[in-house]
Structure 1
């Protein structure tokens, strides 16, 4: 893996061409595959100002001078100047490489001739240098080294000595004398030379040490590190390496990796690097070592190096590359689980927002790629575990997938698709609150997510499941308000979504069940005005509106809503209707019409009320509520005292529904209506008709009798009284006693032969434990009447012979009359005592009179007749005295009771029976004592 080296190569291609300002250049790899096979080329030049003419023209002239001159010194000087011009101008001028090799073969003799003469106009160090070059170009390596060693020995302070030493060291290296080469390279470095020669000497020093074996690798390692310090002095130099240096730097990294591998891996590198400040390029050494292991198939070792560097430099800017390299290594090894673990480590390492922000764009994309791969893997694993019934394992994988998807979405501009996957993973893991958050982000915050509505719907379904218990947990227990809020958010964003009406319908149903009529109504109305709503959804919406309006008592609006529900129920657009749904809706529609009738009645709108009640039958004919409506229509009229209309309604109701239970109440209501409208006879007839089927008809019949009495139809009344009394009713309380006595009294008043009822009335009153002033008065009067009747019988009974028989009859009649009079007194008290005393006194007076007037038996002589008459007087006198006493008692009542007609009659009789005392003019007047009378 040479990602950084590739960067170096790119940097080289971008640098400008190099002007010939170097003392020399070494091109490795031109003459052999190894360092030992390489051959140096020496190009010497001096820094002098260029002539005003073009370099090519100057070179041409020196080239001609070299060709035409026979003087060795001239030819050598011309050759030196040609080389200097070419090097300084940077142009390919003068002799070609092939020509130059031939020319140097020609001038070797000139060099030798000059040296042998011992006289040379120029610098001998330069001459020795050029001779070494000539020998090198002509393949005389040993001769070339000899001349260089001669130069070093004779002219140690020459500026050509460092290069000479370098070439000598190169020769030793090529010959395999690595210790000698090391010493040579150290001499070059120690000579104080700077620039490219020092860097190359240091580089070759490292190789010389490496070639000496592991014992010298400690020196070699540190030397190669110093080479890197030389070639990469600053962080910016990593991006600006010139092309000739790339191979050297790369080879340095490679040999460091080789040595570290053969010793202790990354720890060797750490020991060479020491505890000093971190070098900006040191990560490349570890990268090359990790790459070296990977190429050899030592995958664990490669991973170990990467991990070691990350541990060593936890805040290094390139650690993302090392973490990624671990993934690549395990991927190359085919270790899938290790790949995922490495990816997970990479994701975790840069999960912090600040850390992620520091990554290069390519690394950020890599982080996203790893996150997605891990998320998809764990989701797939969880799905497989679910299929296998390993729910606990599935939960863990789903949770991990959710973590990765969420983090990825956050770093991908809130990618809606990823957020939705995160929500689904959280849902499968039972992490409902987190799932809800992901679904919401995907639906409402992700940009340009084409399936945002489905994500929002997933949130709706999740909350509904939590509310219904399917998705509930301790940490997730949404209520109806939460469901409602989520639904409104969904409807607000996705107004054209076809699922909105159904959602609103569901909310209407739920709020209705919860008792929140206002919300139920709002959602229901939302559904019915939505053009996207299906028949079933409209049905649900109108149903909620109808129920709310009905519950609010707004029965007119409820009727409209129920009408819509009924129309939809009868159509083919509503799915899943339960059997009997239409009938149920009709029932509700009839109910709200009925309630409108009730409301109208309560507000006094009689016509409207009756109209509502009567039209129920058009919605639900012959139903109980329709019948009740008809019945209540009549009741409404009754309560409004519109009796004629009420009677018509009741009569028609009974005709239309003869067998309905409510019909049993019609009779009572008709009776009431007839009575209230002044038709007591019709009321009575209605009662009689109604009583015909009763087990005990007499309460109704007696009421009918009372109504006949009110209507003046005495005959009908009396027939009912007689029928009832003939049943032998016995009073069980005072009320019943009074009622029975009243019946008897009314019969006495209106019937011709009233004696039996008089006797019954008196006997009942005497025998009863209950009385009233009226019944006592009635009984007393009837007792007097009966007594008077018996007295008349007594008076009409003549005393005939034989006297004993007729007298017994007369006395029996007297006793009967007397008893009635005494009963009257016991019943009527002081109110009837005057009459009773008078009538009783008259009985005795008449008895005395009749005794005196009775005939004498015909078989008596005169004396016997006189004696018989005297005996009669003796018998009659006590009766007369008793009569006088009773009349006198009546007279004496004046002081206590006052004067009345019966006392007056007693006084009249007394004036006849005792004229001396009572036959005088008397003026009766009242007397009221004065306040101070007798003062």
Structure 2
């Protein structure tokens, strides 16, 4: 029996607020059946859209207003608007659940303050209602009820009164005050206010309030429950249009009517409550429920009497046959076969026309039966003695006599069965089946009805399997299923039934009808006569069907049941031999559950499924794959550290498995994504070492080289420069040649990073500049690096140049100095070709200084000591003539730097050139000046 359920549907209440406010709607009841389990008031503005401002920001301001204001009406309004914003925006904003209890406690204080002051811009009935709700939300049920009572007392015409009465009554009912609850529900049921769906709910609960008061109130309760059913099922069409939300309340109402009637005078009491119109759309339901209740209580006599009472009260009702057929079911369930057969006889007599046979006198009817029996036996004997078509004709004749005899004989069952046997021998299978069915299901009192029913089943089964002699009779599996249902319904306790159910289940499975296969398999498994072998067969079908339907959790249970039976003491040898396959299937469905959970975005559940495969089939291929997929699932879910742990564990356990070859790459991904670049790089280095262990070197093993370069990038990201640089140095030592722009940039990046690390900087700069000059591919970055490298190399060469002194013999030292000068100038020119205007000022300055230093050093060189005074003067004049072109070139280059201000602007290197020019050419350049940046517009060079 189902428990009482109060169906409290959501409802809404429309009301106005203070003048100048927008209209709003208050919705209650959406979260529970009592005020105590509802959520806070839900306000929804309807006349104005939300402003173009973040709802979260607006909510924050109303929170702040609520928390800072001391004015109760302002606090109430702020809270109302805050809940409205949360409703309209659909965002989880405003107060947290923990804060709401405190907030609504403060709201109650504000409500009470407004009431005490007697000044409120809105309607007081709404205020009282909101106070009731706030009290309920804070667990103050008694205070909530008190406010609702104030509302109905002070404002009886308010639209909120029906809701308030219902909540007051509901509270009383929950507290066990059924008389008080009756009063509250009655106010709503008998009131004139428009209560909508609440009135029918109150009518339902009013009936329960009366029932709870005890038997003295049951008469009134019965009438009330009848009214509820009249409202819920007003006509025949409504019986087929019951909403899901009304099913339980209608079912409970029928149940309680039957319960009260069964404890009085049964059908008679029920008829009294139905007056003055006993036949209603739902009257058959009430009688059926009462009859079922008696049957469940074990009172078969009263159950039968109730069924018969319906047929008596309503002799023309179309469901009378159903009630009479139900009498047979009642006696069968009560294990009264004699009474069941008598009931079937009554049913057949009531609906079978016997006019022709009844017209005979008794003695002629007896003689008709005697003659029919003699002829039937004779032809049956003759059929057994003959062969071929003659025998078939004799059997057919015998069958015809047996059929006629059966329809008029007290031993009809035996005659129908004999007729079935005769038709079977005549290979007239449809006729044989018809008579078996008559014997099995249409003859009351026949003691071999189960055998006749089994004969019908066996005949169809043989036709389905192809065991019958060739004929036009070709029954299908659906016909066998129908016959099986009929047999098991009538003879469910027969020990042959479980095996039949299992057989049909397997045939449906073979036919690809999973739904039917599951139906019969479940019946086979749950049959009280089923042995281990039948249950095993049923569980196998159930498991395969569930697996076909992708219901892998249910399939797992079925496979486990089958496995337990195969491992049991009663298992056959064949069952035991199938245990490995059962374990494999069990592991498979667990694996499929893992796949389903992973696809559904539930990685934790998926991993749990994948990992438990090992407990079912340890060391198997599917268990290993499950472990591997568990790690992959964690990877896809970005659960990096658990994934790392699983991957390492898998590699440790199954290092030689083919799947382990992918572990390193997955670990690199996990380490990288989880912020562990050094460990990722270490994994790549191990992979590279694996290539070396396989006989490949770094020069020829592209895989190993790729791993090392990837590791270098990870070392770089982790600022592990020593490890990174070691890889770069090894790689560059192999003299790689760039085949494309990407490779060129990568090589240049390596050289630049080595330079920045301070490792053999001069050599790497030389390689960097040389590679950039020779390459067909460039990027802004590589050009900048090469230009700066050339400048640096030029500066180093310039320092070497400046350090060479011009001494005796001058020819040798001057030659060395000129070589150094040319090398420096080459670097500076390379810098200009690579860096362009960015490095030009510095390059021009340094090139000019090379010439100036050369001129200065020439003039300062020591003359040979063997010269006389005149020769020394001549020597000095020769040096001056040699130095002059260098000085002129120096001035020209510094001037060029100066002139570049118009295009490149003023910078430190231009300033240095000006300072040198002021020293070399004081008449022109030694003056006070200040350089300013000028915006160039409209084609004006603005030099």
TM-score range, shorter chain: 0.5 to 0.7
1:33-182 alignment runs, 5 A limit: none
Q: Measure the CA separation in 2 of the matches of 1:810 and 1:414.
A: 141
- Which of 893, 896, 904 is residue 889 of structure 1 equivalent to? 896
Contact kept in structure 2, 1:465 and 1:472, CA below 8 Å: no
What is aligned with 1:365? 370
Q: What SS does the aligned partner of 1:770 have?
A: coil
Contact kept in structure 1, 2:378 and 2:398, CA below 8 Å: no
Confirm whether residue 830 of structure 1 aligns to residue 827 of structure 2: no
Q: Measure the CA separation in 1 of the matches of 2:903 and 2:510.
A: 85
* Structure 1 residue 452: Cα displacement: 3.2
* Structure 1 residue 923: Cα displacement: 0.6
- Indicate how the Cα distance of structure 1 residues 853 and 777 shifts in structure 2: closer, same or farther if over 3 A, else same: same
- Stretches of structure 2 lacking an aligned partner (at least 5 in a row): 1-354, 692-700
Contact kept in structure 2, 1:433 and 1:475, CA below 8 Å: no
Confirm whether residue 381 of structure 1 aligns to residue 386 of structure 2: yes
Q: What SS does the aligned partner of 1:793 have?
A: helix
- Indicate how the Cα distance of structure 1 residues 608 and 363 shifts in structure 2: closer, same or farther if over 3 A, else same: closer
Confirm whether residue 913 of structure 1 aligns to residue 910 of structure 2: no
- Indicate how the Cα distance of structure 1 residues 781 and 572 shifts in structure 2: closer, same or farther if over 3 A, else same: same
**Number of equivalenced pairs:** 575
- Indicate how the Cα distance of structure 1 residues 775 and 933 shifts in structure 2: closer, same or farther if over 3 A, else same: closer
Q: What SS does the aligned partner of 1:719 have?
A: helix
Q: Measure the CA separation in 1 of the matches of 2:385 and 2:908.
A: 128
What is aligned with 2:616? 619
* Structure 1 residue 831: Cα displacement: 1.8
Contact kept in structure 2, 1:508 and 1:524, CA below 8 Å: yes
What is aligned with 1:775? 782
Contact kept in structure 2, 1:414 and 1:447, CA below 8 Å: no
* Structure 1 residue 403: Cα displacement: 5.4
What is aligned with 1:311? none
Q: Measure the CA separation in 2 of the matches of 1:356 and 1:381.
A: 39
Deviations 1:52-81 (A, max 9, x none): xxxxxxxxxxxxxxxxxxxxxxxxxxxxxx
Confirm whether residue 558 of structure 1 aligns to residue 563 of structure 2: no
* Structure 1 residue 492: Cα displacement: 0.4
Deviations 1:459-490 (A, max 9, x none): 33443444455559895454443332221111
Deviates more, 1:469-478 or 1:555-564: 469-478
Q: Measure the CA separation in 2 of the matches of 1:428 and 1:735.
A: 91
Deviates more, 1:444-453 or 1:717-726: 444-453
* Structure 1 residue 519: Cα displacement: 3.3
Q: Measure the CA separation in 2 of the matches of 1:619 and 1:673.
A: 29
- Which of 502, 524, 528 is residue 527 of structure 1 equivalent to? 524
Contact kept in structure 1, 2:797 and 2:820, CA below 8 Å: yes
* Structure 1 residue 638: Cα displacement: 4.8
Confirm whether residue 589 of structure 1 aligns to residue 596 of structure 2: no
What is aligned with 2:291? none
Deviations 1:799-823 (A, max 9, x none): 4455444444333333332222222
Confirm whether residue 538 of structure 1 aligns to residue 543 of structure 2: no
What is aligned with 2:667? 670
* Structure 1 residue 513: Cα displacement: 4.6
1:704-783 alignment runs, 5 A limit: 704-783=711-790
- Which of 506, 510, 514 is residue 509 of structure 1 equivalent to? 506
Q: Measure the CA separation in 2 of the matches of 1:525 and 1:418.
A: 36
Q: Measure the CA separation in 2 of the matches of 1:476 and 1:737.
A: 85
What is aligned with 1:784? 791
Contact kept in structure 1, 2:668 and 2:681, CA below 8 Å: yes
Q: Measure the CA separation in 2 of the matches of 1:888 and 1:447.
A: 132
What is aligned with 2:3? none
Q: Measure the CA separation in 2 of the matches of 1:408 and 1:397.
A: 17
Contact kept in structure 1, 2:502 and 2:520, CA below 8 Å: yes
Q: Measure the CA separation in 1 of the matches of 2:412 and 2:644.
A: 80
Q: Measure the CA separation in 2 of the matches of 1:864 and 1:400.
A: 164
Deviates more, 1:453-462 or 1:859-868: 859-868
* Structure 1 residue 417: Cα displacement: 4.6
Q: Measure the CA separation in 2 of the matches of 1:751 and 1:395.
A: 113
Contact kept in structure 2, 1:845 and 1:883, CA below 8 Å: yes
Q: Measure the CA separation in 1 of the matches of 2:404 and 2:392.
A: 19
1:657-696 alignment runs, 5 A limit: 657-694=654-691, 696=703
Deviations 1:234-286 (A, max 9, x none): xxxxxxxxxxxxxxxxxxxxxxxxxxxxxxxxxxxxxxxxxxxxxxxxxxxxx
Contact kept in structure 2, 1:589 and 1:619, CA below 8 Å: yes
Q: Measure the CA separation in 2 of the matches of 1:684 and 1:659.
A: 23
Q: Measure the CA separation in 2 of the matches of 1:893 and 1:469.
A: 107
**Scaled by the length of structure 1, what TM-score is found?**
0.55
- Indicate how the Cα distance of structure 1 residues 722 and 473 shifts in structure 2: closer, same or farther if over 3 A, else same: farther
- Which of 467, 479, 482 is residue 479 of structure 2 equivalent to? 482
* Structure 1 residue 901: Cα displacement: 1.6
What is aligned with 1:492? 489
1:775-854 alignment runs, 5 A limit: 775-854=782-861
Deviations 1:124-180 (A, max 9, x none): xxxxxxxxxxxxxxxxxxxxxxxxxxxxxxxxxxxxxxxxxxxxxxxxxxxxxxxxx
Q: Measure the CA separation in 2 of the matches of 1:829 and 1:778.
A: 12
- Stretches of structure 1 lacking an aligned partner (at least 5 in a row): 1-351, 386-391
Contact kept in structure 1, 2:375 and 2:401, CA below 8 Å: no
* Structure 1 residue 455: Cα displacement: 3.3
What is aligned with 2:710? 703
Q: Measure the CA separation in 1 of the matches of 2:854 and 2:743.
A: 42
Q: Measure the CA separation in 2 of the matches of 1:398 and 1:817.
A: 127
Contact kept in structure 2, 1:590 and 1:616, CA below 8 Å: yes
Confirm whether residue 441 of structure 1 aligns to residue 441 of structure 2: no
Structure number with greater Rg is 1
Q: Measure the CA separation in 1 of the matches of 2:425 and 2:823.
A: 114
Q: What SS does the aligned partner of 1:662 have?
A: helix
Q: Measure the CA separation in 2 of the matches of 1:630 and 1:500.
A: 44
